[in-house]
Amino acid sequence: MERDWQDLPPYRAVLAVDTRNFSALDSEAQREVNSGIREVLRSALDVIGLSTEWRKHDFGQHTGDGYVGGLVPTCLPGLIGSFPAALSEALRQWKPRGNVADPVQLRVSVHVGPLDETGIGDPMVHTHRLLDENSLRRVLDRADPQITNVAVVISDRVYEDVFRSGVRTGQTVAGHYREQIAKVKAFERPAWIHVPGLDWRLVDPELFEPPVPAEPAEQPSPKSAEKPSMTFSQQGDGTLFQGYKVTAHVTGGRDD
């Protein structure tokens, strides 16, 4: 009997990174950061024992300000466990030429799902939506780039698959991740954020709240002067006199 269904594409872990404030760099600095990202990724993945897997990664491509690639899903415990701290250290050790004056900060997202060799599909879109999540941006916007150079967001699916499995994840445990609802355009999904070295119990929850614009001070409305009203009075002989009645408000006077 002929099948009327298709095989599901193989599951792949999707790793994506991009550079904070990349557009603020000049063209020469952008080229240097663009080429340096792969060097930093390769170094960090080598440290945690994923150099072989990275050499064979799927649909690798530069995104201008970052890079994206697919790995076998068995790498996930390393990607969300040991990799963030290793990436932070590799980025700190990277020595760009004089074109890049300020420390580089990277946003990282990790997701998993069925993807063919092209990398085109919903899991890839999901990965990039996580990368654009505003809470992740606010973390790095408030951070000192000399101290905090990496912020990571993972999908709820990755979090559940890895931490509920009970496998070892290096020095990073579930408590190093904080749940957040990722909202980007029409996309709204649970996600988990991690900053290497940060204890979320010490963090003000307002860090994840969008800044509230200050309301303009209410201006007192000027008192409108009362218009004089016209009056008529009649004398005993029947003559009418026309006049004006004016009401005046006086403050701060003195009694003489």
The domain locations on the chain are: 11-208
pLDDT digits (tens, 9 = 90+) for 54-106: 999 999 988 889 999 999 999 999 999 999 999 999 999 988 776 776 789 99
What pLDDT does residue 248 have? 46
In words, the CATH class of domain 11-208 is alpha beta
Partners of residue 190 on adjacent β-strands: 181
What pLDDT does residue 212 have? 58
What pLDDT does residue 150 have? 96
| Sheet of 66-71, strands arranged across | 58-62, 66-71, 11-19, 106-114, 150-155, 187-194, 178-184
90: helix, coil or strand? helix
Helices (H), 143-249: 156-163
Share of the chain above pLDDT 90, in %: 58
pLDDT digits (tens, 9 = 90+) for 26-57: 888 888 888 899 999 999 999 999 999 999 99
